[in-house]
Amino acid sequence: MNKLLIAPLALLSMASAAMATAPLPEGGSKLNAIVQGHGQPGDIAVSTSNPEVSFRVLDNGLVERTNSRFGTVSYVNPEHEAQFRNAR
């Protein structure tokens, strides 16, 4: 029984890692491109589900996430995030 559960979980983890490093499809959202490390410095995107949250690619490649409602700013390195997702 345990072998039956482990195999699907292993396949799911491999599939998610492959999707994280795959090229973005044409017509994909600018926000997804920025968060996944495909943005260029100066690119900005605003969340459609929460317009108070915006994302901006900085010159050093980090992504700045700003929430204007709460006055918070956080920074994410998309390259590091992709490596972390792929390590699972």
Domain containing residue 10: 2-87
How do residues 10-27 score in pLDDT, each as one tens digit? Answer: 444 433 333 344 466 677
Lowest mean pLDDT among 12-21, 29-38, 73-82: 12-21
Q: How many domains does the chain have?
A: 1
Sign of CA dihedral 66, 46, 18, 23: negative
- In this predicted model, which residue has the larger pLDDT, 21 or 80? 80
Q: Is 81 helix (H, G, I), strand (E, B) or coil?
A: helix
Rounded to two decimals, what is the model's pTM? 0.65
